[in-house]
Amino acid sequence: MITFAHRGARLEAPENTIPAFRLALDARASGLETDVWCSADGEVVCAHDSVVGRGLRRRRVVSSTAAVLAAAGVPRLADVYGELGTAFELSVDIKADDAAEPLLGVAAAHDALTRLWACTPDLELLRKLRGINPDVKLVHSTHKRAIAAPIERHAFELSEIGIDAMNMHHSEWTAGLVSLFHRFDVRAFAWDTQEVRHIRAVLRMGIDGVYCDRPDRMVATVAEWTPDTD
C-alpha cells in the first residue's frame, strides 16, 4: 500500500512546496503527490494551478522563469529531489504535455525513475511515455464516467499498453473493480480519501494506493487497519 501525501502536508504548509513535502515525509508517508508544468526556461516546476501568486504578484507558470517562480514559492522538481532525496514514491500529475518528457529526464538524472508514477487522463500521452522509457510507472488518472469503453476492455487496454495503475476517485471503486484491474496486473489507486472511513473502505477493497491531504491521518489509519477493522 502506497500512502501518497496529496500536494504534501498541504494543511500545515503551502501546498506543493518543499516544506509541505518534508512534513509529509516526517509523518511517514511513503509517497508524495504533486503537479508539474514547464517554466518559460524549460524547468520542471511543481504547481497545481496555471497561475500562482495573488494580486500584482500573479504569475502564469508557463510564462515565468524558474527563478521568478521560486520567489513565489514554486520549487523545481530537481530541487525537491535535491532537498529531500529520492527514498519515496512520487506521483506526478502532468498538467501540460510539454512537461512529460522533461519530467522523466529529471527523475532519471536523480536515479528516481523507478519510483516515479506519471499520471494523466491522456492515454495517448501514456502510450508515448511507455515508448520512451520502460522503467517509469504510468498511471491512467480519470473518472469512471470518462471511460468510453466497457471497463473490462479498458483494463485490458491499459495492460496491453503497459500502464501500471488506474487512479479514480475513491467513491468510484468497488471490490469487484479492484479485482478486475488486478486480473490484468494493473494496480488500483484511490484519490481524495480524506476521512478515516474513506481509507478503511478502500483498504477493504484491496486498493494499492491512497491520496490524502492529511498524511498523519492516512499513515495512522493504514498502519492500524486489519481486515477485522470496523
Q: What is the CATH number of the domain that holds 108?
A: 3.20.20.190
Has residue 7 been placed in a domain? yes
Encode pLDDT of 84-102 as tens digits.
Answer: 999 999 999 999 999 999 9
Has residue 159 been placed in a domain? yes
Q: pLDDT-based confidence at 203, cuts 50/70/90?
A: very high
Residue 53 has pLDDT above 90, yes or no: no
Has residue 22 been placed in a domain? yes
**Number of domains observed in the structure of the chain:** 1
Residue 229 has pLDDT above 90, yes or no: no
Provide the domain limits for residue 30.
2-48+75-224
pLDDT of residue 199: 97
Has residue 63 been placed in a domain? no
Encode pLDDT of 104-162 as tens digits.
Answer: 999 999 999 999 999 999 999 999 999 999 999 999 999 999 999 999 999 999 999 99
Residue 225 has pLDDT above 90, yes or no: no
- Quote the CA–CA distance of 163 and 165 in Å, as a whole number: 6
165: closest CA among 122, 118, 230? 118
Has residue 40 been placed in a domain? yes
